[in-house]
Amino acid sequence: MAQFEKFSDQQLLEELRRRVKCAEKQTKLNSILVGPPGSGKGTAAPKLKADYCLCHLSTGDMLRAAVAAGTEMGKKAKAVMDAGGLVSDDIVVGIIKDNISSPACSKGFILDGFPRTLAQAEKLDAILAAKGEKVHTVVDMQCDDEALVERITGRRIHKPSGRSYHIKFAPPKVEGKDDITGEALIQRKDDNEKTLRPRLQAFHDQTKPVLEYYKTKGIVSNVNAMQDMKLVYADICKAYGAKV
């Protein structure tokens, strides 16, 4: 019970209500958030997860978790990473498949950072089709590259939950501390301009064909991620609302 002591009675009650609501939810929503680093995916995803009873699947987090858990795919990924190689599509897709089949994803999922390539998108569709499912909506979070530099360098993360803050645009209530747990926030080591620009170019090169692929299915919604985050979230909810 010690793990609950850091939360107030009100927070615990709200979480209980959320879980009851999720247990009663009948619809399922499979979604993908597409956007460059700093576009706000990390800020929106935890709230979408709570509001729509979804699981949030971030490729990097899933790889690290699979390695730590020693799963079959995690062992394969660790062997490749230890050798200094790039994790193959087959391994990444295998980890995705394991996760979307978990009880936590029974009401649907938010994919963040996957699929990055057309081949991955096609494999994801094949996995879902085998379960009688599909991707319902793809949200394209559009953001000006130059504006991302300020966003990225000021970003702070609560690593255990994935909650994201910004020292200027979305500061925590207490500087350097997570609003919910009071735990320390971190700055990712690659959140700087030097590493950002190559990442942005790679993002555009890789994801353009992915977006074109989903546009042919009529499931892409464009969201102006340059707006205030409350407006961004409202627009994502509009895209979700048509599917639930």
Taking CA atoms, 156 is separated from 15, 31, 126, 166, 167, in Å, by 24, 25, 36, 6, 7
Q: Among 49, 155, 156, 163, which one carries the catalytic annotation?
A: 155
Q: Among 41, 107, 156, 163, which one carries the catalytic annotation?
A: 41
- Active site includes 194? no
Helix residue ranges, H only, 56-192: 59-69, 72-82, 89-100, 118-130, 145-153
The residue count for the chain: 244
Q: Report whether 52 contacts 109 (CB < 8 A).
A: no
Q: Among 28, 75, 97, 116, which one carries the catalytic annotation?
A: 116
Q: Among 25, 97, 177, 199, which one carries the catalytic annotation?
A: 199
- Active site includes 155? yes
Q: Among 188, 197, 215, 217, which one carries the catalytic annotation?
A: 188
- Active site includes 188? yes
Alpha-carbon Rg for the chain, nearest whole angstrom, is 18
- Active site includes 18? no
Q: Report whether 163 contacts 47 (CB < 8 A).
A: no
- Active site includes 163? no
Q: Which residues of 78-106 are buried (b: 16+ CB within 10 A; e: fewer)?
A: beeeeeeeebeeebbbbbbbbbbeeeebb
Bridge partner residues of 69 (DSSP): none
Catalytic residue set: 41, 116, 155, 188, 199
